[in-house]
């Protein structure tokens, strides 16, 4: 019996197969072991194409050819296929990560750094600002910003947002503290907020203060600023503004000075 169109569509999407491959694999699964003729009859795929499709499925780990005459094919269990695909994805990701890491050692990368550092047209202060969309993109910019701190880092956040950043803030803070960089952290103390300051401070390894504003921003070295301009929403909908503004950064830090001097 030919597989239903909706199932074929789902198999095609989830397993990265084309239509013929999806039909043939489903036909083979329904029989466990079958000849080319049987697969063609069940799947509705022309027999002349089934040979090529089975060869493709065999290479991808979906089928195994059984020696003999006539040649028969055995369906690989879906659970085994999924594990095989997972291992391939992890291997490809690891190789991709290694390739990306090795780029920094290349001449091309050094040329890119030179272009960025010595542009033909000097960058004006008003040009040093940009909007960033998507939580992960914002966090990537924040990590880079904090990692480059030389003197001081200031973070104001909601308790929930701060917890989301723990996985990258803690190792960054440990490294910065060893370098003598000052770190100030405050969390919004609003009626809706429920959190344990002592627990957050322990997790981060730095003192955490309460503050009576509901905002999220990060200041580095009294000059660079990253401000979330949207409330905490879906990851892809979050927007932040990054700017290089010593004037505004100093003004915000002056406003926050009483918070750092207060008791926990």
Q: Are residues 60 and 135 located together in one domain of the fold?
A: no
Residue 263 has what pLDDT? Answer: 62
Measured distance CA(26)–CA(11) in Å, rounded: 9
Phi, psi (rounded to 5 degrees) for 45: -85, 135
Are 198 and 239 within one domain? yes
Tell me, yes or no, whether 166 and 56 share the same domain.
Answer: no
Whether residue 50 lies inside any domain: the answer is: yes
In percent, the amount of the chain with pLDDT more than 90 equals 34
Under the banding of pLDDT at 50, 70 and 90, the label for residue 41 is: very high
Query: Can you give the pLDDT at residue 100?
Result: 85
Whether 137 maps to a domain, the answer reads yes
Q: Are the CB atoms for 130 and 242 separated by under 8 Å?
A: yes
Establish if 119 belongs to a structural domain: no
Assigned domain for 118 exists = no
Q: Are residues 192 and 215 in the same domain?
A: yes
24 in Cβ contact with 44 (< 8 Å): no
Same domain? For 107 and 185 the reply is no
* Judgement on whether residues 159 and 227 belong to the same structural domain of the protein: yes
Predicted pLDDT at 1? 44
Greatest mean pLDDT among 106-110, 143-147, 244-248 lies in: 143-147
Q: Pick from 139, 209, 137, 196: which is nearest to 167 by CA? A: 139
pLDDT tens per residue across span 158-186: 888 888 899 999 999 999 999 999 999 99
Summarize pLDDT for 83-134 with one digit per residue, the tens. Answer: 888 888 888 898 888 888 888 888 888 888 887 776 555 545 554 578 888 8
Question: Does 257 lie in the same domain as 141?
Answer: yes
Cα 74–76–77 angle (5° rounding)?
A: 130
Q: Which CATH number characterizes residue 15's domain?
A: 1.10.10.10
Question: Do residue 144 and residue 256 come from a single domain?
Answer: yes
Q: Quick one: 31 and 108 in the same domain?
A: no
Q: Are residues 167 and 232 in the same domain?
A: yes
Q: Is the dihedral of CA 164, 167, 168, 174 positive or negative?
A: positive
Provide the H-helix boundaries in 104-214.
107-117, 135-147, 159-178, 197-204
pLDDT digits (tens, 9 = 90+) for 215-242: 999 999 999 999 999 887 777 788 999 9
Of 226, 181, 222, 227, which is closest to residue 205 (Cα–Cα)? 181
Q: Which domain holds residue 99?
A: 81-113
CATH of the domain at 255: 3.30.870.10
Q: Which residue has the higher pLDDT, 117 or 11?
A: 11
Sign of CA dihedral 244, 246, 248, 254: positive
Distance CA 80, CA 18 (A): 20
Distance CA 43, CA 34 (A): 12
Token digits for 187?
């969390």
In the predicted model, what is the mean pLDDT of the chain? 86
Q: How many domains does the chain have?
A: 3
What does the pLDDT look like over 155-164, one tens digit per residue?
Answer: 999 888 888 8
User: Looking at residue 186, what is its pLDDT?
Assistant: 92
User: Is residue 121 domain-resident?
Assistant: no
34 phi and psi angles, rounded to 5 deg:
-155, 160
Shared-domain flag, residues 186 and 249: yes
For residue 154, being part of any structural domain is answered with yes
Q: Percent of the chain, pLDDT > 70?
A: 91
Q: Are residues 46 and 162 in the same domain?
A: no
């Amino acid at each position: 019996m030919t597989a239903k169109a909706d199932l074929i569509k789902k198999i095609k999407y989830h397993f990265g197969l084309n239509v013929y491959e999806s039909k043939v694999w489903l036909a083979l699964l329904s029989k466990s072991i079958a000849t080319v003729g049987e697969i063609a009859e069940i799947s509705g795929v022309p027999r002349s194409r089934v040979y090529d499709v089975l060869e493709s499925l065999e290479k991808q780990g979906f089928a195994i050819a059984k020696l003999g005459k006539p040649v028969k094919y055995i369906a690989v269990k879906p659970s085994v296929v999924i594990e095989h695909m997972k291992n391939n994805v992890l291997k490809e990701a690891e190789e991709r990560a290694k390739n990306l890491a090795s780029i920094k050692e290349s001449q091309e990368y050094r040329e890119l750094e030179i272009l960025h550092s010595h542009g033909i047209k000097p960058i004006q202060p008003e040009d040093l600002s940009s909007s960033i969309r998507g939580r992960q993109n914002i966090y990537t910019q924040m990590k880079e910003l904090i990692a480059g701190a030389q003197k001081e880092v200031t973070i104001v956040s909601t308790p929930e947002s701060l917890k989301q950043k723990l996985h990258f803030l803690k190792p960054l803070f440990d490294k910065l503290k060893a370098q003598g960089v000052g770190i100030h952290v405050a969390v919004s103390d609003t009626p809706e907020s429920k959190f344990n300051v002592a627990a957050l401070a322990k997790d981060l390894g730095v003192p955490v203060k309460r503050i009576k504003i509901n905002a999220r921003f990060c200041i580095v070295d009294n000059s660079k600023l990253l401000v979330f301009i949207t409330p905490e929403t879906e990851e892809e909908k979050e927007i932040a503004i990054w700017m290089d503004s010593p004037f505004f950064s100093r003004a915000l830090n002056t406003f926050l000075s009483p918070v750092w001097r207060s008791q926990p």
